Structure 1
């Protein structure tokens, strides 16, 4: 089954983060129940892949001021049928930033989130089942703003709480700081 690698990764994630059962349970149920969970056409929701990208000095995170949602967020996007969600997160990170060189900081999933996406034009309101990975930029950190963003910015980790309001973004910041003792 093409969903089994993600289901296995969700199980591993849950074993590391049992306090997140309220997210992992519904996420797992969605993936088990929906054979098309990686397809954007699934109108109730779909799996997305995201990247929390740290600078090489591990003191900044690359955020996008998302054009459609008009908020500062991590980079990421739709799986569009690809069940390899890490590959999706890496593809989206490259497409949305112009950066090419990344290193996976942790094996497996860094964070999970289920969040609503408002209706827009012909697209109904739906949910993104977002799988997030922790990446380190290892090459040139000069980015290019894509048409999906108003802007990109390397934000010092200490300034993330002033830039974002989403609980899940602050949770990733906290996880990042707990995993990397040298991170501010």
Structure 2
């Protein structure tokens, strides 16, 4: 299945996802470089919502730029295998190696605002991330590592405590949405 097909086949769970899906598909047709961060208006990112076997913890990183606990994830950078991007980012940002996709389907589809910031000494202007999130599982006993240029900590957080750790209200809404979807899955 192509990356565009995976977005087209995504079934929105609410009005926000329906509208974001519509806009993402529109801009896929407008921009031929939406898979690349060189598109300074909107580009595709892929993340993993990593849960443990008991489905009561999520693996998160303390993100340097956003100064908050967040999902692992990153830019597609031209790569069309968005699940592969999410898995690569998990491995790179946490050191966890054994990642099992719970489903190959996108669990959350969102347009996220990214405020202007400095990255590697260069200013990055305000832009949008067309964010796809996949649900995956990992072993909470596997050793984790910090990736100092991207995060300052890696930790398994009780799902019930995401609210305590995340200080980004727009991301908390996404986490709650994903958690409610997990509760409905036959896993």
TM-score (norm 2): 0.87
1:74 aligns with 2:71: yes
Change in CA separation of 1:128 and 1:45 when aligned onto 2, cut-off 3 Å: same
Counting only pairs closer than 5 Å after superposition, residues 6-155 of structure 1 correspond to structure 2 as: 6-14=3-11, 17=13, 19=15, 20-121=17-118, 122-138=123-139, 140-147=141-148, 148-155=150-157
Contact 2:52 2:140 (C-alpha < 8 Å) held by counterparts: no
| Partner Cα separation in structure 1 for residue 47 and residue 101 of structure 2 | 12
Structure 1 gap segments, 5+ residues each? none
1:110-155: per-residue Cα shift (whole Å, max 9, x none)? Answer: 1111111111232111011111100001485221011211211101
SS in 2 for 1:108: strand
Displacement after TM superposition at 1:18 (Å):
6.4
Structure 2 gap segments, 5+ residues each? none
| Partner Cα separation in structure 2 for residue 71 and residue 18 of structure 1 | 26
Contact 1:103 1:138 (C-alpha < 8 Å) held by counterparts: no
| Partner Cα separation in structure 1 for residue 9 and residue 52 of structure 2 | 27
| Partner Cα separation in structure 1 for residue 19 and residue 164 of structure 2 | 27
1:34-67: per-residue Cα shift (whole Å, max 9, x none)? Answer: 1111111111021011000011232200011110
| Partner Cα separation in structure 2 for residue 170 and residue 86 of structure 1 | 21
* Count, aligned residues: 177
Q: CA RMSD in A?
A: 1.8
Q: Which runs of 4+ in 1 moved over 6 A?
A: none
Contact 2:34 2:44 (C-alpha < 8 Å) held by counterparts: yes
